[in-house]
Structure 1
Amino acid sequence: MHGHSHAHAHGSSTRAFAAITLINLAYTALEAGYGFATDSLALLSDALHNFGDVLGLGLAWGAAALARRRPTERHTYGWRRATLLSPLANATLLIAFSGALTWEAVRRLGAPPQIPGMPVIVVAAIGIVVNLGAAWFVRDGHANDLNRRGAFLHLVADAAVSLAAVLAGVGMLTLGWSWLDPVTALLVGVVVAAGAFALLRDSFNATMDAVPDSVDRAAVQAFLAAQPGVSAVHHLHIWALGSDEIAMTAHLVRGDSDGHDAFLAGVVHALDQRFGIQHPTLQIEHGATCRQDAHGDAVQHHH
C-alpha cells in the first residue's frame, strides 16, 4: 500500500519567490558592478552573500515549478530530486567564491587601498531596503511554511550584512579607516563559507539518501513496532524525494492478523501526520518464512 500526500506549491507562492529572486538578482548585479568599479571588497563580499541567497531563492522558486511536472515512464518520481542536486553544486560554488574573497581580504589587510566611502554606503543602504522589502514580501505564512521561513530568515540576515557594509563605509568616509573594507569582507566571507559548508553537508547527505534531519528513524521504528499485531520491523529505509517530500519503505511482520487494508490505511495516515512521511510503502509479512540476513534485515523465501 502506498501513501500519497503531495504538497503542491500555490501559484501565489511561486510568484512571490519569482519576484524576490529577480529583485535580488538585479540588486546583486548592481552591487557587484559598483564593487568592481570602486575596488571595494566589502561590496563584492556582500554581493557574493546576496548571490548565494539568490541561488537559494531560485531553488525555492524552481521547487515550486518542478513539483508540477508529472512523473514519466522513465522518471517515475518526477523531477523532485533536482532540488537536492542543485544545492550541492551551489554550495561548492559559494565555498570557492568565499575562499577567493577571503584570500584577497587577507592579502589586502597589510596595505588596504583607499576606497571611496560614499558609494559603499549608498549601495549597501539600497541592499538593506531591498532585503527587508523582500522579507516583507514573503512574511505571510513564514511561521508554517518551511520554504518561506528559510527565505524570510535569509533575507533578514542579508539586511544585517548590508548594514555592516554601510557601517564600514561610514568608518572609511569619516575616520579614513581603509582597513574596514577588507575586515568587513573577511567577516562576510566567513559567514558565507559557514553557511555554504552547512548547505554542502545537508545536500550531500540528502543525495546519499540519508534519513532527513526532520525525522527520527528510531522513533519511526518504535512507532511501527508498537502497531497492533506487529512482531518485527525490517528493511526500514527513509529518504528525501526532494526538498519537501519524504519517502519510506518497511517490512512489517504481522503474523496471522486480519484487516490489513484498514491497518495499512491507519499507519500511512499516522506516518504523514506524526513524522511528515508522505510516501510510505509497507509490506506485510506473516513471519513464517522470514530469516535474518547479515545486516539484521529480513529475507523472505518464496517457495
Structure 2
Amino acid sequence: MLNTVYLGAEALWGVLSNSLALLADAGHNLSDVLALAAAWLAQHLSAKSPSARFTYGLRRSSILAALGNAVILMLVTGGVVWESINRLFNPGPVAGKTMMIVAAIGILVNGGTALLFASGQKNDINIRGAFLHMASDAVTSLAVVIAGGLVLMTGLTWIDPAMSIAISVIVVLATWSLLRDSLDMALDGVPRSIDRDSVETFLRAQPGVADLHDLHIWPMSTTETALTVHLVRATSLPAGQTETLLLQNTVEILRTRFGIVHPTVQIESAHCQSPCHLADPHTV
C-alpha cells in the first residue's frame, strides 16, 4: 500500500517538475507494485494442493511470476531509455529541488521494502524478482537525488536524462540473471543449484546399479526440484541389498544431499528396459 501511494505521488511530482528521472523512477515503482502483487499471488497459488487436472498443483506459477517480473522490468527500462534519449536532444527545465525531496522519500520506501525480501531472495528467484524490483528502485531514487543536486549546482538539465540512462543500464545488468534463470526454469532446464553430473555419478555408484537412462531433472517451482530416472539393476545384487533398499536409499539421498524433493526412480532389469521416447533418435 505504501509503495502504491508513493508511486502516485512521485508520478505527479515528476510531471509537475518536468523531471524525466522522477518519471523513470515512477515507472519502475509501477513495475514494483505489479511485481509484489505477482510474487504474492504466485506464493499463494504455489501452496495449493495438487488436483486431478493440475497433478503437481500450481507450483510453476512462481516460475511464471519470476519470468514475468524480469520481462516487465526490462520493458519498463527500455521505455525509460527511449524517452531519455529523446530528452537528451530536447532538454527542458527541471526542478532539481523537487526531484531531490521526492526521490529521498523513495529511498526510504523502496529500501525498506527491499530489506523485507533480502533474506529470502537467495534461494527463491520469485522473491529475488521482487527484491530486485525494490532494490533497483532504491538505487534509482538515490541516483535521482544526485542528479537533482547536480542540476541545482550546474543548471545543466541534460544531467537528468543522462542519469536515467545510467540507472537503466544498472537495472538491466541486475535483472539479466533473473531473466536468464527464470527462462531456464520455464523451459524445464536443470536448476543452477543442481549439478546434473554429480547426480548421475551418485546414481551410477549405487550398489546394484549396472546402468541408467532417461535421467530428467527439472524445477517444479522456484524452490522445488523433481527428478525421474530409470536404474538398470545388476544381474545379481550385493549381499544384503534388495531392490527396496536400493530404492529407499537412493530417494533419501537425492532429497537430503541434492535437495531434489520429488524424485521418481524406476528400477528395471537389463532384459526389460523401457527407454523414453525422448532418447529415440527417430523422434523429433
Using the size of structure 1 for normalisation, the TM-score is 0.80
Task: Note the residue ranges of structure 2 that are not aligned, 5 or more in a row.
Answer: none
Q: Distance in 2 between matches of 1:144 and 1:181?
A: 33
C-alpha distance 189-149 of structure 1, shift in aligned 2 (>3 A):
same
Structure 2 counterpart of 1:244, which letter? T
Specify the code of the residue in structure 2 equivalent to 1:278.
Answer: V
Report the Cα offset of residue 187 of structure 1: 1.4
2:263 pairs with one of 256, 280, 287: 280
2 CA distance for matches of 1:243 and 1:131? 24
Matched residue, 1:41: 20
Name which of structure 1's ranges 89-98 and 64-73 shifts more when overlaid on structure 2.
89-98
Q: Amino acid of the residue matched to residue 117 of structure 1?
A: G
* Displacement of 1:144: 7.1
Contact 1:249 1:282 in 2 (8 A): yes
1:266 match: 249
Name the structure 1 match of 2:137: 158
In the TM superposition, what is the alpha-carbon distance from 1:123 to its structure 2 partner?
1.0
Deviation at 1:165, TM superposition (A): 0.6
Q: Give deviations 1:240-282, integer Å, cap 9, x for gaps.
A: 1112111111001122434222322222221122222111100
State whether structure 2 residue 163 is matched by structure 1 residue 170.
no
CA distance in structure 2 between the partners assigned to 1:143 and 1:242 by the alignment: 14
Q: Deviations over 1:15-39 (max 9, x none)?
A: xxxxxxx333332333223223323
Q: Is the 8 A contact 2:42 2:65 kept in 1?
A: no
Contact 1:231 1:254 in 2 (8 A): yes
Matching of residue 99 in structure 1 with residue 82 in structure 2: no
Separation in structure 2 between the aligned mates of residue 113 and residue 220 of structure 1, nearest angstrom: 60
Q: Which residue of 2 aligns with 1:111?
A: 90
Offset, 1:61: 2.0
Partners of 2:91 and 2:157 within 8 A in 1: yes
Distance in 2 (alpha carbons) for counterparts of 1:175 and 1:85: 45
Q: List per-residue Cα deviations over 1:206-253 (Å, max 9, x = no partner).
A: 221111111111111111111111111210111111121111110011
What's the secondary structure of 2:220's corresponding residue? Answer: strand
- Distance in 1, matches of 2:70 and 2:172, equals 9
Higher relative contact order (CA 8 A, sep 6+): 1
Q: Which residue of 1 aligns with 2:110?
A: 131
Q: Secondary structure at the match of 1:231?
A: strand
Amino acid at match of 1:45: A
* Equivalent-residue separation in structure 2 for 1:269 and 1:294 (angstroms): 28
Hey, what's the Cα distance between the residues in 1 that align with 2:54 and 2:20? 44
Establish whether residue 233 from structure 1 lines up as the match of residue 233 from structure 2: no
Identify the residue that residue 12 of structure 1 maps to in structure 2.
none
Change (3 A) 1:48 1:267: farther
Q: 1:64 aligns with which of 38, 43, 51?
A: 43
- TM score, norm. by length of structure 2: 0.84
Q: Work out the CA distance in 1 between the residues paired with 2:5 and 2:52.
A: 39
Asked whether the equivalents of residues 28 and 50 of structure 1 are also in contact (C-alpha less than 8 Å), the reply is yes
The alpha carbon displacement at 1:94 in A equals: 3.0
2:47–2:59 Cα contact (<8 Å) kept: no
After TM superposition, give the deviation of residue 106 of structure 1 in Å: 1.0
Instruction: Please report the RMSD computed on the Cα atoms of aligned residues, expressed in angstroms.
Output: 2.7
Residues in 2 aligned to 1:68 and 1:113: alpha-carbon distance in whole angstroms = 50
C-alpha separation between the residues in 1 aligned to 2:166 and 2:122? 32
Q: 1:248 to 1:159 in 2, by over 3 A?
A: same
Tell me the SS of whatever aligns to 1:70: coil
Instruction: Work out whether 1:205 is the aligned partner of 2:184.
Output: yes
- What amino acid is the match of 2:60? R
Q: Distance in 2 between matches of 1:102 and 1:281?
A: 48
| CA distance in 2: counterparts of 1:293 and 1:57, whole angstroms | 40
Give, in whole Å, the separation in 2 of the partners of 1:217 and 1:82: 24
- Mapped contact 1:60–1:147 kept (Cα < 8 A): no
Q: Which of 264, 273, 280 is equivalent to 1:290?
A: 273
